[in-house]
Amino acid sequence: MSKRSSEREQLSLFRALPGADMALRDAQDLMAYPFFSLAKSPRTVPIRFEAGGVSLTVEGVPEHGIATIWDADVLIWAASQIVQAKKEGIAPSRLMVATPYEILRFAQRGTGRSDYLALRAALDRLQSTTVATTLRQRERTNGAVRLHRFSWINEWKEYIRSDGRADGIELILADWFFSGVMDEALVLTLDPTYFRLSGGIERWLYRLVRKHGGRQPAGWRFEMRHLHLKSGSLQRRPDFALQVRQLVRRQALPGYRLSIERSGGMEWLAFRPMPGEPFHRDLSTVSVEEPVDDVGTGSVDRPHHSRWITRRTIGGSPAPIGREAAPGNGFGAP
């Protein structure tokens, strides 16, 4: 018996719930670290990140490239399904089945042939992308570091009708991802308009801001060099910073006010939730962040050893936002 056959046989099949009015949920770990390519063109250069005692390496194959921030919409759909099932007293499973139409509509995509082909390509990238990380791995008693290796989707298959159209998609989620979503403390709700964000940096920045901004009324900020590091982007830092400034000018992120601050020759992106919006009265399934001090960083960025880039030079800190700015939409190509 093959390993994959035995895995499938041990899992119950979870049929996707109707998703028309389902809240968008995302895993905090995926929001806080550079797990995805931000470019629509195929990326095969590995993403490598190490900070705060956490390391990760993301690699893709030349045929498909690394899974993109748009491919992550499938994981947002899956996380939303898992959390909703738990709320309704239904046991979710890593083995999920849905129609392409259901997934595409949830992600606010079209449902034509090109959209289906793009979904198929996204599933291929999610399966062929490999991640190796120490995140959420307990240290062993001898001090050794445990590295967890996985792909976002262990396997997937489609059911084809006699006319050649897809009738259903079945997939098995990575246990690392599934277990994180099953822990409601590691899940956040996204703004319903998230899928309208079209740019890679725009989508990544919203998720990072959403993760760190949360219920911090005084706001939060990141030094631009550290922000570039956390993105995993292949762009030159000046080009990356220019795009961030453009997003600030447009006030492009739903639910947050952005501003640029400069001091001591350093440039910071600062942000805070916009008050009074209905979405921000119920931001997540549980409280968002641990308490922070006046110079510290968020829980995922707390330094642990000397290899961490010191908070005093590069990093994020909760900080009041001075000047307020006035407020201002796919899967990658198959």
Confidence of residue 257 (pLDDT cuts 50, 70, 90): very high
Q: Is residue 275 over pLDDT 90?
A: no
Reported as half-sphere exposure (CB side, CA atoms, 13 A), residue 247 has a value of 27
Confidence of residue 318 (pLDDT cuts 50, 70, 90): very low
Q: Regarding beta strands 13-15 and 95-98, do their DSSP bridges make them parallel or antiparallel, or are they unpaired?
A: parallel
Task: Render pLDDT for 123-161 as a digit per residue (tens, 0 to 9).
Answer: 999 999 999 999 987 766 666 678 899 999 999 999 888
| Mean per-residue pLDDT over the chain, rounded | 82
CA distance linking residue 137 with residue 318, whole number of Å? 27
pLDDT in the model for residue 6: 65
